A and B are shown apart, each in its own frame.
Chain A
Amino acid sequence: MADKKGPETWKEMNPGCMVFRPGSSREYHTGSWRAQKPVWQNEKCIKCGICYIFCPEGCIKEDEEGYFVADLNYCKGCGICAHECWPGAIKMVEED
């Protein structure tokens, strides 16, 4: 929550908690919820993209070489990518 800006008092709440700034939820880094992070072993990766499709956060991106990486600012560590990965290229690793 440290980097989340918001109203200080009830008087500063927008009516109905409406938010008028588009895309502002990006400022909330859900990555802080994570206990484990996904780690790709690219030598096993067949570049099928199933991790990208299944990620409920939409935080997995394809890199320039066609491999996949998670944006750890938003990855909640749910492990779905690792569960779905056919060749077992993704391991969930404890956070430090």
Chain B
Amino acid sequence: MSKRIGMEVAIAAAEAAALCRFDVAAVYPITPQSHVAEHLSDIVADGRIDAEFITVESEHSALSSAIGAAGTGARVVTATSSQGLMYMHEVLPIASAMRLPIVMIIANRAVSGPLNIWNDHTDIMHERDTGWISLFAQNGQEVVDMTIQAFKIGEHRDVMLPVNVNMDGFQLTHMVEPILMPEQEEVDKFLPAYKPYAMVHPDTPVSMGTLAMPEFYAEALKAKDMAMAASRKIIAQVWKDWEKQFGRKYEPIEAHRAEDAEVLMLTMGSMGETAEIAINELRKHGVKAGLLKLKLWRPFPFEELKKLTKNAKVLVVTDRAVSFGGPGGPVCGEVKAALYDEPNRPKIVNYLIGLGGRDLTISDFVDMMKRAAEATKKMPAEAYEYYGVRE
């Protein structure tokens, strides 16, 4: 049986990776991910698992080493944040193109500049199209669970893609939370030993990371895209297996009081918990409010979103990143694309919130919901609003 313990979430993430018996960790520390890096290093140095920790000189090298290690058939974990993730950018699509199921724990943080080490989702939004599966956790328990799930999803033969697990920097990484930490035997049962599709070994010659001429490049991209599409089914299966074994349910979009909701809000990450309290407050006052928590950013759950929003009059989409000169926040752009062909789509209001660690309270979410509800009569003048910005 899992034990309930109080643990800092960053450390719990590293513990979850250790429960998966990773073979190699290649990590470069960066705030607010550093505790993940340090603790992974401790786990290896203390000999708790039979693994290598590669002390790399940069994030570019961290992911490059991870790819090399994964190519030899190792189960590999890495972790980063913000500028570090951007420094990995060049290598991210290579990891997915080589179909190596590396797991990356990301402590989401704003990007410079201005220099800011606090939490928002800008870092991962820049990496949206690199072919990684992206999971978003809303609390420490989900970070632990998703880290373990990530290996099983990525390593499935129908998928073979790298997976990143996103946790809000500081709001989650530095928070001590009560966490049900699974036992080793339970994780062993859930996640069997990694059987790589191919590995670099003298007995099994293989060329990885090959060149594709114009005649093959589009076919290679479609094959990768189809693996991403196929992952929807596998993610659902892995989450079903998880629920069966551990009793905690996971869905691409977790709905809270959404069924009869006229005004829905969509959040991603830790702010979902604050928004949930706001929704409950509004319900007490007779407002038909509901919440959708997006847990799966890539592949994006188009069908689930359509189903969950079909009866709503207004959908408030919160974004924690900016698309300069774009149609709104990146999440809102996806939501609008998903619902464009729906005959009964809700009015969509977009707020950019929590940028660079800006705090939001329950009353802020109540305020957003109330103001957005007006959209049935009159849409806001602007396509999106920097919520709480000083004009």
Contacts and interface: CB of A to CB of B under 8 A. Distances in A.
B216 A13 contact: yes
A20 B208 CA distance: 9
A19 B210 contact: yes
B193 interface: no
Given A18-B208, A19-B206, A13 B219 contact: yes
Interface stretch (A2-10, A38-46, A70-78): A2-10
Interface stretch (B9-17, B94-102, B244-252, B335-343): B94-102
A18 B198 contact: yes
A16 B219 CA distance: 11
B197 interface: yes
Q: Which of A16, A19, A22 has the most CB of B within 10 A?
A: A16
Chain B interface mostly helix, strand, loop or mixed? loop
B212 interface: yes
B98 A7 contact: no
Interface string B193-210: 000011000000111111
A15 to B, nearest CB: 5
Contacts of B207: 18-20, 24-25
B377 interface: no
Contacts of A19: 206-207, 210
Interface string B91-117: 000000111100000000000000000
A8 to B, nearest CB: 9
B206 A10 contact: no
B317 to A, nearest CB: 33
B213 interface: yes
Nearest to A11: B223
B18 interface: no
B210 A13 contact: no
Contact of B208 (A10, A13, A16): A16
B215 A6 contact: yes
Given A15-B99, A17-B97, A19-B206, A10 B213 contact: no
Contacts of A18: 99, 198, 206-208, 210
Given A18-B206, A18-B207, A20-B198, A1 B213 contact: yes
Contacts of B97: 16-17
Given A15-B99, A17-B212, A20-B198, A9 B219 contact: yes
Interface residues of A, number: 16
B69 to A, nearest CB: 15
Contacts of A22: 205
A11 B219 CA distance: 8
A6 B197 CA distance: 20
A20 B198 CA distance: 9
B33 to A, nearest CB: 27
A16 B98 contact: yes
A19 B207 CA distance: 5
Contacts of B197: 15
Interface string A35-58: 000000000000000000000000
A47 B266 CA distance: 75
A4 to B, nearest CB: 8
B215 A10 contact: no
Contact of A13 (B100, B198, B213, B220): B220
B220 A17 contact: yes
A7 B208 contact: no
B160 interface: yes
Nearest to B225: A10
B378 interface: no
Contacts of A25: 207
A67 B197 CA distance: 47
A16 B99 CA distance: 5
User: A7, A11, A17: which has the most chain B beta carbons within 10 Å?
Assistant: A17
Interface of B: 97-100, 160, 197-198, 205-210, 212-213, 215-216, 218-220, 222-223, 226-227
By Cβ-Cβ distance, the 8 closest A-B pairs, closest first, are: A16-B99, A10-B219, A19-B207, A10-B222, A22-B205, A13-B223, A16-B98, A15-B99
Given A16-B98, A16-B208, A20-B206, 4 more contacts: A13-B219, A15-B227, A17-B212, A19-B207
6 contacts: A1-B213, A13-B223, A16-B100, A17-B97, A17-B220, A18-B198
